[in-house]
Structures are given as C-alpha cells and as structure tokens.
Amino acid sequence: MNPLVQMVVFFIFAVPAFLGSVLAAWFPWAQWVGRVGTGLTMLLGGAAVNASFLIGGATYADFADDAKFAWVTYAWRAVVPGNYALWIGLLIAFEAVTGLLILSGGWPTRAGLVAAMAFHLGLGTFFSWFLTYYAAVMLVGMALLLRAEWRGQIATGPAPRRRHRLA
C-alpha cells in the first residue's frame, strides 16, 4: 500500500477519534464517534497498516533511528531486525485486539482504551518527535473518551436486579 494512502486512511480515523472523544462529555453521539474512530485507528490505522508494511517486505530496521534516546535506537536495532516478523506480528496482534476491545463497548472498551493509552505513552516517550506530538494529542482524546465511557457506565449503571418472590 502506498504510504500516502496509509496516512490518509490513518487520519480518516484519527481525526474523528480525537474530535469525538473531546466532545463525548457533552454529546452522546460524540462518544460513539470517539469510540469507533479510536477503535478503527488501532485496528485499521495501526494493525492493518503495519500488516501491509510487513507483507510489502518492510523490516522495520530503521524505525527507531530518530528515537529521542540513543539506547532506544541501539536496543531496537539489536532486537527487532533479526526477527522482525515475530515482533511486528505481535504488534499487529496487539493493535488488532486493542481496536476490537475499544469497539466492543462496556468494560472491554475501557480496557482497550487503557491498553491504547499505554501504547501511545510508550510510542510518544521513546520514539520520534512526530510520534510524541501525535501521541500527546491522541492521549488527550483517549483520556477524555475513557472519562466519558466511565461516566456513562456510572450514570446508567448496571441494570437493577429484580427479586422474585415465591408465592
């Protein structure tokens, strides 16, 4: 897949994910947009894009070359290129499962958002400055979405249990 097409596909999901997540505190429809956008960002913008790179023959050897810390670049080059199919395959699986959890609703959505936030925190902390800025924006959106998801669960709460009397 063409890298330009991949970026367009990615931002088709990331921009609505952020906007929906920010507006989720005020509009119920925005919570849905944020959830779907964030889930699809992980599933298609992350897992599918990385799968297309892997299928296209990318080795990911130079991914960490512009990391903020030299030890990250050194560690990446020491570990990933030697068995890139395994490591990137695990990344793809993680992103796909995280995206599916986020799309599921309820507690799986909250668990998926926590996983996605941890992923973006690592991505933004250790790798390129572009990824730092991207991750910072997405972390704000995901934190707001998690807050809305949590408040929605508390506001509606679980269905009350009915006690039945035996006659």
Question: How high is the pLDDT of residue 154?
Answer: 43
d(CA 42, CA 48): 9
Pairwise CA distance, residues 106 & 158, whole Å:
10
Report yes or no on 71 lying in a domain.
yes
Closest to 98 (Cα-Cα) out of 138, 158, 127: 138
pLDDT tens profile 27-80: 888 888 999 999 999 998 889 889 988 998 888 899 999 999 999 999 999 999
Residue 163 lies in a domain: no
Q: Identify whether 167 is part of a domain.
A: no
Residue 6 is encoded by which pair of tokens? 């991949």
- Global pTM reads 0.82
The 10 Å Cβ neighbour count of residue 27 is 13
Rg for the chain (alpha carbons), in Å? 19
Span 71-83, pLDDT tens digits:
999 999 999 988 9
Structure tokens at 59: 């080795």
CA distance 167 to 90: 57
> pLDDT tens digit string along 122-153?
999 999 888 899 899 999 999 999 999 888 75
* Domain contains 164: no
* pLDDT score at 95: 96
Establish if 91 belongs to a structural domain.
yes
* Structural domains counted in the chain: 1
What type of residue sits at position 97?
V
**Domain span at residue 89?**
3-156
